[in-house]
Amino acid sequence: MIDKLAIIGVGLIGGSLALALKQAGAVNHVVGYARSDLTRQEALALGIIDEATDSLADAVRHADLVFVAVPMGAMSAVFEEMAPHLSAHTVVTDGGSAKAQVVDAARTAMRQQMPNFVPGHPIAGTEKSGPSAAFAELYQQHRVVLTPVDETSAEAVRLVEKVWQTAGAEVFCMGVEQHDLLLAATSHLPHLLAFNLVGMLAQRDDCDEVLRYAAGGFRDFSRIASSDAVMWRDICLGNQQAILELMKQYRQGLDQIEQAIRSGDGDYLIDVFIRAKKARDSRFAEPGLIDNSEV
């Protein structure tokens, strides 16, 4: 299906797409761009890419599909550098966790190529990063959201949709703004809560003691606090408005819970907990509603 695939940023997200497409026999040649020699060698050794380069121009030249999977803060510079070397037929997509900032960066750097640019976001990942974290099955039975803009051609969307389906994903399209708000609620805010909670506990003198007796719920919730700091800094700054709005709502809810505990208002607490349990047990546990099957 694809003759030359260029992966810009051969980490968890870029590497996993390359592996999935290779496993499906859907790509002839995969070129990986990485700045560090260590990453290039690792990606080659793991069979993620067939060719490694530290030149963005060489990576994208004559490519049929370019997948940009670097931290969001690096996307703008990557787009600027690769734009002059894209062929007329080259379709470009990305995996950034928030879309408005990426679309702005693409419009600035790739004005001519916007019809061939399909903003995307696989709603699948782990707390690990780098080539060694990549695996071919990552996207299987997970969702990928595409947020085509006015300029995006239907043909480019069709190609990117087919590529993600080949990797095992279910593809949905929605608007950029809607995407950024939804993901702020279900992904960006929870990551911030986990970073804050684990960071707060780590500062305590009795941290080891506290963590030794943590139960399964803490283990589950704190896993995402192992995620990459640069990636999450870029998501926070790149989806600022939606995240701040969600933080405000969350803080209001927490304040009300605090007030209820202070005043001994058990009825309020029961109300909040029952509402959450009902939502989780019915709506969220509905097959296919939450992105993966681990409900």
Ligand X SMILES: NC(=O)C1=CN([C@@H]2O[C@H](COP(=O)(O)OP(=O)(O)OC[C@H]3O[C@@H](n4cnc5c(N)ncnc54)[C@H](O)[C@@H]3O)[C@@H](O)[C@H]2O)C=CC1
Interacting residues with ligand X (CB under 6 A): 9-14, 34-35, 39, 69-72, 74, 78, 95-97, 121-122, 125-126, 129-130, 133, 228, 231, 235
Cα Rg for the chain, rounded, in angstroms?
A: 21
Q: Select from 50, 51, 58, 127 the one that contacts ligand ENO (CB under 6 A).
A: 127
Of residues 204 and 223, the one with the C-beta less far from ligand X = 223
Give how far the C-alpha of residue 146 lies from the chain's centroid of Cα atoms, to the nearest Å. Answer: 12
Q: Which does 129 bind (CB under 5 to 8 A by kind): ligand X, ligand ENO, none?
A: ligand X
Of residues 228 and 265, the one with the C-beta less far from ligand X = 228
Shortest separation between residue 268's beta carbon and ligand ENO, angstroms: 30
Q: Select from 14, 125, 148, 168 the one that contacts ligand ENO (CB under 6 A).
A: 125
Which tokens go with 276?
């959450």
What secondary structure, in 3-state letters, does 117-168 show? EECEEEECCCCCCCHHHCCCCCCCCCEEEECCCCCCCHHHHHHHHHHHHHCC
**Is 97 an interacting residue with respect to ligand ENO (CB under 6 A)?**
yes
Q: Which residues pair with 30 in a beta bridge?
A: 5
Of residues 133 and 211, the one with the C-beta less far from ligand X = 133
Angle at 58 between CA 55 and CA 59, to 5 degrees: 85
Q: Which does 69 bind (CB under 5 to 8 A by kind): ligand X, ligand ENO, none?
A: ligand X
Amino acid at 274: I
Which tokens go with 129?
């990063």
**Is 187 an interacting residue with respect to ligand ENO (CB under 6 A)?**
yes
Integer Cα distance of 104 and 168 in angstroms:
29
**Is 75 an interacting residue with respect to ligand ENO (CB under 6 A)?**
no
Q: Which stretch binds ligand ENO (CB under 6 A): 120-128, 154-162, 206-214, 258-266?
A: 120-128
Contact partners, residue 43, CB within 8 Å, separation at least 6? 10, 15, 32, 34, 49, 52, 131
Q: Which does 224 bind (CB under 5 to 8 A by kind): ligand X, ligand ENO, none?
A: ligand ENO
Of residues 93 and 187, the one with the C-beta less far from ligand ENO = 187
Contact partners, residue 55, CB within 8 Å, separation at least 6? 33
Q: Which does 10 bind (CB under 5 to 8 A by kind): ligand X, ligand ENO, none?
A: ligand X
Which tokens go with 102?
């990426």
Shortest separation between residue 193's beta carbon and ligand ENO, angstroms: 12
Chain residues in the site for ligand ENO (CB under 6 A): 97, 123, 125-127, 187, 224
